[in-house]
Amino acid sequence: MRERTHGHPQALTVVLLAVGVALLAAGVLLSARDGQSADELASLAETTHATDATPQGDAAGIDWDALESQNPDTVAWLQVSNTTVNVPVVQSSAEDPDRYLYLDFWGEPSDTGCPYLDSLCDADGTVMVVYGHRTLYRDYMFHDLSGAFEQGTFDTLGPAKWSTPAGGDASLAPLCSASVDRWDAAWQSVAKVRDVQALRVWLDWAASVSRASNGAAGALASSATRALVLVTCNGRAFHPETRTVTVFVSTSATPCA
């Protein structure tokens, strides 16, 4: 280590001030971008959930034609009760699986991206794994899910509504949530599950190792027919490699109306 000196305290003050101003400017810029993204999504949600019948409208009143005209990769709309999660979901491709990590719904560069379905999953399949950002300056995208691995936060979550053009609306109950390493193979394996029995085995395991879970997790896991797995950063200090994985399940044989 270098010996501490006291030669240029004024120069050090200037440097620290400059760094502070730069960080503040960056924060203001990111805050402005966050706010713009949040407002654009809120406007999209308002115009998408049409009250009148639309050419491809379903029980949710979603104008799928309008969404797909803005982004042909649109595959679903996601809402989670008691949160600000109310977003379109796009499909990622095997060739570019993280394309929407830093592109918004309209394909423009974005710090907060757009929620996207894992390239291994189908929007009307047995398992839907969706990735979304935890936002910093406004509560939207998957921000409200970032702390769901804590039981108190998990208990505030309501059902998730998963809407697709072909499948209509499906309601899924919160099963469990955990803080996991981003490379954890056991958690990642769910994206490859296609069989309902294999899904139930995985769900039972997930609930057993999760820090937060539904009081009826065992019964829900053993009767589940579909799972929605939402993944986001959890914001734990000094743990940038961790993710919050929150699992919702449906026990219905068909999507609800």
pLDDT at 46 over 80: yes
Compute the CA torsion angle 17, 28, 104, 82 (nearest 10 deg): 120
* Residues 133-186 pLDDT 10s: 998 878 889 999 999 999 999 999 999 999 999 999 999 999 999 999 999 999
Residue 52 in tokens:
């009148």
Q: Per DSSP, which regions of 62-167 are E strands? A: 74-80, 86-91, 116-117, 127-131, 160-164
Using a pLDDT cut of 90, give the percent of the chain over it. 65
Predicted confidence band of residue 58 (pLDDT cuts 50, 70, 90): very low
**Average pLDDT over every residue of 188-203:** 96
* Residues 215-245 pLDDT 10s: 999 999 999 999 999 999 987 666 678 999 9
**Which comes out higher in pLDDT, residue 221 or 33?**
221
Cβ count near 210 (within 10 Å): 23
- Residue at 160: amino acid letter: A
Model pLDDT, residue 138: 80
C-alpha radius of gyration, the chain, whole number = 21
Q: Which of 48-52, 64-68, 214-218 bottoms out in mean pLDDT, i.e. has the lowest?
A: 48-52
The angle subtended at Cα 172 by Cα 170 and Cα 49, nearest 5°, is: 45
Predicted confidence band of residue 60 (pLDDT cuts 50, 70, 90): low
